[in-house]
Each structure stands twice: as C-alpha cells, then as structure tokens.
DNA sequence: TGATGTGAAGCGGTTCACAGCC
DNA sequence: GGCTGTGAACCGCTTCACATCA
C-alpha cells in the first residue's frame, strides 16, 4: 500500500477485476489466486497484484484472495456501494437510449433526469424519466442530488453545455460529443469518442496486410 | 516516412488531426504549422510532426502544412474516401440509437442493416433500416457488402455474436458489450466499455480530495 | 528566418523475478 | 510448497532539441 498517484489505467482495470470477481462469486468460488484470475480472463498476474497492492494488502500468501472479501473491497474503492444520480443532457436518440441503458443500473447509477433545449421534448417522458428544460439544469441538479452529467448533444453545443454543467457544481462528466472539451481542473471528464473508434476501424480496413494479428 | 509499426494511439490522433483540419478548412485557412495546430487544439507540436512523419513528408519547412492537401492525405490514410457499410447486431435501445447516429455518416459509414433474435422485432424498420433475423447475418453481409459489425447485445450473448460475425468474414468490429471478447488475430475489435467509464467516474467521486486537477 | 523531420532523452506503465510470508 | 507484494529491468510512447532545408 503506497500513497502514490494511481493511474487511470489502474482504476479502469479495478473495474474489470470487479467484474471478474462477480463472475467467480456467482459460480461459488471462494478463493482465487492472481495467476488463476489472469489465466481465466486473459490478464497479467503481476499486474493484478500490483494494481491491488496500491490499495491495500488484500491477499494471503500461499492462498490467494478471498473472492467475497476482495469483491467488497473493490466495490468500496470504486465507490459503488453508494447510489449515484445521473442527469443526461440531450434527449435525442443517444440520450434516450442511455436513459434506460442497463449498464447504468448495474453500476449503481440512476438516471434521474433528461435535459433538452427543444420545446417539443420538454415535459415528455422516457420510461419514468422526465425531460426538463436545460435552462433549469442547476435547479434540478440540486433538487435530485445529481452528481454525474452525461453530454449527449451535437459537438457544436457540447462546450456550452459543459460550462452550464460546471456552473451547477457537477464534478463528473461523461461526454459523447466528438470534440475535446476544456474543463476546470477539478472536473473529471470521460470522453467516449465513437468517431475516433470508427475511423480507427476504417484505417484498419484500409491496410493492405490484414493478415497477421499474431499472439 | 518509416516502415515501422504504427501504434493505435497514433492512428487515433490522426483522426483528431483530420477533425482539426476540417475546422480550419471551413474557416478558410490555407496553411498551418504544427505549432499553431498544437496551440489551437491543445496538442503537442512534436507529436503532430512525428505522427504525420510515419506516413510521409507532408510539410514544407519554413511554411507548415497545406490544409487542403493534408486533409486529403489524412482522409486517404484513414480510408475515409471509401464508403463503408455497417451491420448492427442488437436492435435494442442502443442499437437503434446507433442506427441513425449522426457520427456514422460523418465518418463515411452507412448503416445497412440491423439484426436481432427477437421475432417481434424482425421485419420492422428503424428509419430506412430494416431489422433482420440474426440467423441470416452471413447472407445479408454478402448481399449488402457489409464490412463492419457493431455488437450492441447484452454481455452474455456478445461472444456468440462475435463468433457468428467472424464466420461471416467480418474483420472490423465495434463492441459495446462490457466484456473482453476473444477474437481471431485478423479481426480488429474496438470495445467501448461504458461500465468502465462509469465506474471510473464513480471512483473519482469517491476520492476524498477532489481538489487539485492541476495544470 | 521559420518550420519540418528526427535522433536522443525522459517518463510512465508493464513485466520479470524473487524475497518474504502463510 | 504456493502465492503475495515489490524492487528492478524492460519497453513503448512522449517530449525535447536541433540539424536540415525551403
């Protein structure tokens, strides 16, 4: 256990480990070694140990890790024992799709509200979730205790939306607009850029040698 | 220009550069130096030059890069001068949202077909796009010349879907299911794992010191 | 002069290998 | 004996700094 800076790559993997443990737990496994975990889920055992060691000494030498125990630890580290409320800005196809996206609830996130600027959409519902005027964003954030905002608006509006979100005191943002956003230092933004992923696939297809992915 | 292995990080940035150039072109800029490009879009100028140099000598010393010229080069490198057909497997909320996702057309991708296993959905349409029985995947891939598959099914079906896709000869896959998939070496998979992104935000929120993002 | 293209240095993350403990 | 936790080696990407050229 060190008081070092923990890289985002590590925390991303923590999330993966938790998923693996959930699967093992559902199969009734009591303990697991970093080696078995690595073999089973195509990970590297040294990396698993190193990642976990950033947060504490969870293992038992000669035995491995207790599945339920480690599961609890990871859940706590990732802050997943607490329910988080989410507000989605942009009630287009993507925003509404995310509104009842299964994975949100999996990860203890609840979508509390949708926001849009389009008069026609305001007041409508997607499932149980109402669409509000984005002008009232700050107000509803306070009322519903929203901690996470999702930006699902076209690229040209994304920066303005981010500023509104920031003013409302939101510190965690998931951005689907394909542009880099400028944010205050204490605001965490995760951008999911589908355009980059697509163009990366396109590049791959354009390569003459689509032969050897190897090992 | 070197015959080296080009990393995915580089190709991802190529996609970003193209976007920047599109913006400059739309503003009527004729030339741009790596330095101005970097300043404007918060990039590193040395990295821009190095990335571009993997693919050729596109710049002019003392001048910079010709915007239109470089735009053309990047478009060609990324294979974006050719239209690509996409098939989306899973006609749930996410799949249908992606079906008319604006960014697809932006990047020269056309969604040719949706696929699902649910009898009730088969035969229906989302916009212009028909939903087919996933059993007929291979057939329709051939007919419509589909090159890219999107996996938008629940995690437990994703691996099976991938195998079906692979058998049909698809080499480029975008996966939204939150599990690591095992693929043949010559198949390129881009996984967009929203659960990891969410849990990473959750971790951030759980940190006691949400103070100093710095620099 | 001004900006590219690139070898070299720097840095962060991954993997190795083993001492230490159950 | 088996497996963790971790210093050290390794590796690849980023950044620097400058020779090179229009």
Q: What is the pLDDT of residues A159-210, one digit of tens each?
A: 999 999 999 999 999 999 998 888 888 999 999 999 999 999 999 999 986 4
By C-alpha to C1' distance, D7 is nearest to A50
CB contact under 8 A, A12 and B77: no
Interatomic separation, CA of residue B44 and C1' of nucleotide D15, rounded (Å):
8
**3-state class (DSSP) for residue B133:** strand
User: What is the maximum alpha-carbon separation in chain A?
Assistant: 64
pLDDT, averaged across chain B: 92
Closest nucleotide to B51, Cα to C1': C5
Q: Tell me which residue in A96, A109, A204 faces B172 most closely, judged by beta carbons.
A: A204
By C-alpha to C1' distance, D20 is nearest to B61
Class of domain B84-197: alpha beta
Q: Is the pLDDT of residue B212 over 70?
A: no
Provide the pLDDT confidence category of residue B209 given band limits of 50, 70 and 90: low
State residue A210's pLDDT score: 45
Q: pTM of the prediction?
A: 0.92
Shortest CA distance from A215: residue in chain B: B185
Query: How far apart (Å, rounded) are the C-alpha atoms in residues B213 and B215?
Result: 7
Shortest CA distance from B192: residue in chain A: A192
Q: How many CA atoms lie within 13 A of B17 on its CB side?
A: 34
CB contact under 8 A, B199 and A100: no
Q: Is the pLDDT of residue B3 over 80?
A: no
Q: Going along chain A, which residue ranges are E strands?
A: 31-32, 65-66, 84-89, 109-116, 125-126, 129-133, 148-151, 172-175, 188-191
Query: How far apart (Å, rounded) are the C-alpha atoms in residues B25 and B12?
Result: 20
Measured in angstroms, the CA of A172 and the nearest CA of chain B are apart by 6
The CATH number of A3-77 is 1.10.10.10
User: Which residues from A are below 8 Å from B82, CB to CB?
Assistant: 206
Considering Cα of B154, then B159, then B164, then B166, what sign does the dihedral take?
Answer: positive
- Range list for CATH 1.10.10.10 in chain B: 3-77
Q: Is the pLDDT of residue A105 over 90?
A: no
> With left for phi above 0 and alpha for psi between -120 and 50, is residue A169 left, alpha or beta?
left
Query: How far apart (Å, rounded) are the C-alpha atoms in residues A20 and A30?
Result: 13
Provide the pLDDT confidence category of residue B211 given band limits of 50, 70 and 90: very low
What's the whole-number mean pLDDT along residues A70-84? 96
- Range list for CATH 3.40.50.720 in chain A: 84-197
Footprint of strand D on the protein (CB under 7 A): A 1-2, 33-35, 45-46, 49-50, 52-53, 57-65; B 7, 9-10, 44, 46-47, 49-50, 60-63
**3-state class (DSSP) for residue B117:** coil
Interatomic separation, CA of residue A106 and C1' of nucleotide D22, rounded (Å):
59
Protein-covered nucleotides of chain C (CB closer than 7 Å) are 1-7, 12-17, 20-22
Residues, chain A: 215
Interatomic separation, CA of residue A60 and C1' of nucleotide D1, rounded (Å):
14
Are A152 and A89 in contact by the 8 Å Cβ rule? The answer is: yes
Closest nucleotide to A4, Cα to C1': C12
DSSP structure class, residue A180: P
Render pLDDT for B28-75 as a digit per residue (tens, 0 to 9).
999 999 999 999 999 999 999 999 999 999 999 999 999 999 999 999
Protein-covered nucleotides of chain D (CB closer than 7 Å) are 1-7, 12-17, 20-22
Burial A172-198, CB ≥16 within 10 A → b, else e: bbbbbbbbbbebeeebbbbbbbbbbbb
**In DSSP terms, which residues pair with A65 in a beta bridge?**
A32
CB contact under 8 A, B179 and A19: yes
Query: How far apart (Å, rounded) are the C-alpha atoms in residues A166 and A161?
Result: 9
Interatomic separation, CA of residue B99 and C1' of nucleotide C2, rounded (Å):
48
């Amino acid at each position: 256990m060190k008081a070092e800076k923990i890289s985002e790559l590590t925390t991303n993997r923590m999330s993966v480990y938790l998923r693996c443990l959930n699967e093992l737990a559902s199969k009734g496994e009591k303990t697991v070694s970093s080696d078995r975990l690595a073999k089973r889920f195509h990970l590297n055992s040294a990396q698993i140990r190193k990642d976990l060691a950033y947060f504490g000494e969870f293992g038992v030498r000669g035995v491995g890790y207790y599945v339920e125990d480690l599961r609890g630890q990871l859940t706590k580290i990732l802050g997943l024992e607490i329910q988080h409320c989410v507000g989605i800005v942009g009630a287009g196809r993507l925003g509404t799709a995310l509104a009842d996206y299964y994975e949100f609830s999996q990860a203890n996130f609840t979508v509390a509200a949708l926001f849009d600027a389009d008069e026609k959409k305001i007041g409508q519902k997607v499932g149980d979730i109402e669409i509000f005027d984005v002008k009232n964003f700050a107000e509803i954030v306070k009322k519903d205790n929203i901690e996470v905002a999702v930006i699902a608006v076209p690229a040209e509006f994304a920066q303005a939306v981010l500023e509104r979100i920031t003013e409302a005191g939101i510190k965690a943002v998931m951005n689907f607009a394909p542009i880099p956003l400028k944010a205050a230092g204490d605001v965490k933004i995760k951008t999911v850029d589908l355009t980059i992923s697509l163009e990366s696939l396109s590049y791959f297809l354009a390569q003459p040698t689509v032969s050897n992915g190897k090992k």
